Amino acid sequence: MLAIGLTVPALAQTERGAKLIGISVGDLNYQRQDAKNTSLAAAAYPSVGWFVADNFVLGTGVELFYNRERSERIGTMFPTSFRSRTFGAGISPFVRYYFLGQNKHRVFAHAGASTTWYSYRDVTSSNGQEGTPYTTHDNVGSYNVGLGYNYFLAPTAALEVTAGYRRSGEAGPVYRPKGSLDVRLGLSVFLPSGKAAAQ
C-alpha cells in the first residue's frame, strides 16, 4: 500500500473507481465539578465509500456513541447519588463531493442521514440505599450537512476535519440536542482504482 501511495497521481485520489476508508471522532464533551460530579461523552464514526464518479462519493458508516454521568449531593439531610450510562450504535449513509483544491488540500461538501439505536440506564441512591434502576431503549433518526477539508500527509492518506449542522429527533432521556453544530476530526485513506494503481 505504501508503494502505491508513493506513485499514485494526485488526481487519482478522487477519480471514479477509487475507494475511501475513514475513521473520525466527535461529540467530545467532558465536564468535572469535582471527583464525584463528572460527565463524559464521545462518538466514533468509521466509514467506507466509493467514488461512483470523479470527485463524487457514495458511502455508509457506523455511528458508535457513549455517554456517562455521575453526580452526588452530600450537603443535605439525605445524601443522594445519580449514575447513568448511554450506549448507541447506528448506520449512516452519506454522499460527498470534492469541489475545491489540489495537491495536499481538498475541500468537499457532504450530507448524510442516520438511524441510531440507544440503550440507556440510570440509578439513583439515597442515604446509602440504591433505588430501582431505570432502563430504556430508543432509536433516533437524524441528518447532517456541512463542509469538510482533507490535508494529505501522503498521496493516499489525509487528515480530515468536518463541520456542519446536525438535526436529530426526540430521544427520550438520551441527551443529544435536536439541532447542533457537528464537528468531527479523523483520518482518511484513499485507495486508487485498479486503473490508476496499474499506471
Report yes or no: 94 and 108 within 8 Å, Cβ to Cβ.
no
Spell out, as residue ranges, where the chain has pLDDT lower than 70: 1-11, 35, 74-78, 170-177, 194-199
Q: Cβ–Cβ contacts within 10 Å for residue 145, how many? A: 13
Report yes or no: 184 and 162 within 8 Å, Cβ to Cβ.
yes
Largest CA distance in the chain: 77
| 59/41 Cα distance (integer angstroms) | 26
- pLDDT tens for each residue of 98-142: 999 888 999 999 999 999 999 999 888 887 777 788 898 888 899
DSSP state of 16: T
pTM of the model: 0.81
Q: How many domains does the chain have?
A: 1
193 burial via Cβ count (<10 Å: 0-12, 13-18, 19+): middle
CA-to-CA dists, residue 137 to 86, 118, 134, 176, 182, angstroms: 10, 6, 11, 15, 24
| 33/72 Cα distance (integer angstroms) | 11
Q: What is the pLDDT of residue 170?
A: 66
Q: Find where cell 455521575 sits.
A: 70
CA-to-CA dists, residue 78 to 69, 75, 134, 137, 189, angstroms: 20, 8, 21, 30, 55
CA-to-CA dists, residue 43 to 26, 88, 126, 132, 197, angstroms: 5, 9, 32, 28, 34
Q: What is the pLDDT of residue 6?
A: 39
Q: What is the pLDDT of residue 173?
A: 55
Read off the CATH number of the domain in which 50 is found.
2.40.160.20
Its domain, for residue 36, covers: 2-198
